[in-house]
Amino acid sequence: MKIKFFYDKYKENSLFKIIFFYSAFSAVLIIAVVLFDYFDSGMYSDDLCTNTKCFKDFFSTFSGFVPLFSFLLDTLLSIVTILGVAAALKNYLNTTSTARLNVHLMHLNTFKEYILLELEVEPRISKKSVDILKWYNVAFPDSRNGSLLVGCEYISLIGEIKDDISLSNNIFTGGNISVFKYNEHQSRIILTLSNLGVYVSRMPKKDFFEIESEIFSLINKVNKELCLLDSTHYLPKREYA
């Protein structure tokens, strides 16, 4: 009963299965070799003998048993070592994968909670208009692999927003205010922000500039506090608003 319980307990263990079947195979092989040597030598027909010569003949008959046993034992140890290393490596990879996933989820939750908290003090920005997951995935594309480095696409996207602001500033401060076309500016900003996961509808100039100001402020806060970007990536002051 104890043997059956032991086997049932470990029957799902691949390493145990291999050792069990290899040991059974080795035992059968050794018994077969011993029996073959015994019957091949004709010792079964000899009279019982207890002198030194008889003992020497007896052991010399089974001299091939020792190398065979040694070979089987060495092979078993090699198998156990290889499978043990493989199991340890698999366990390490699983542990590492789990750790990376935990880091990803913790960082994502921190990112989400921070933005939701900031949206509480930015009343003009609707929570439904911000796709936090899209924003996070753009900012940290390799987070699931354990890397919290800001992605190149996000840096490029922040650069596009800066370029849109600078373009409108240059047009507005160029000496002829009438050249500044609000609708074109609004179209550029709406399109660029949508790539970030922030969606803004068309609206009158005053309302749009107010919500634009809050969105840009939020982006700067995220870049500073969560993305840890330096001041060169902060959005410039708007001269046209």
| pLDDT greater than 70 at residue 6 | no
pLDDT tens for each residue of 70-118? 777 888 788 778 877 887 888 888 888 888 888 999 999 999 999 999 9
Number of H helices, E strands in the chain: 8, 0
Domain boundaries, the chain: 2-100, 107-233
Asked if 146 contacts 99 with a C-beta cutoff of 8 angstroms, the reply is yes
| pTM of the predicted model over 0.75 | no
Q: What is the pLDDT of residue 186?
A: 95
Residue 204: is it exposed, middle or buried by C-beta count within 10 angstroms (0-12/13-18/19+)? exposed
Structure tokens given for 44 = 């079964």
Asked if 169 contacts 240 with a C-beta cutoff of 8 angstroms, the reply is yes
| pLDDT greater than 80 at residue 17 | no
Residue type, 61: T
Asked if 214 contacts 122 with a C-beta cutoff of 8 angstroms, the reply is yes
Q: Identify the band that residue 30 occupies on the pLDDT scale cut at 50, 70 and 90.
A: confident
Residue 143 or 241, more confident: 143
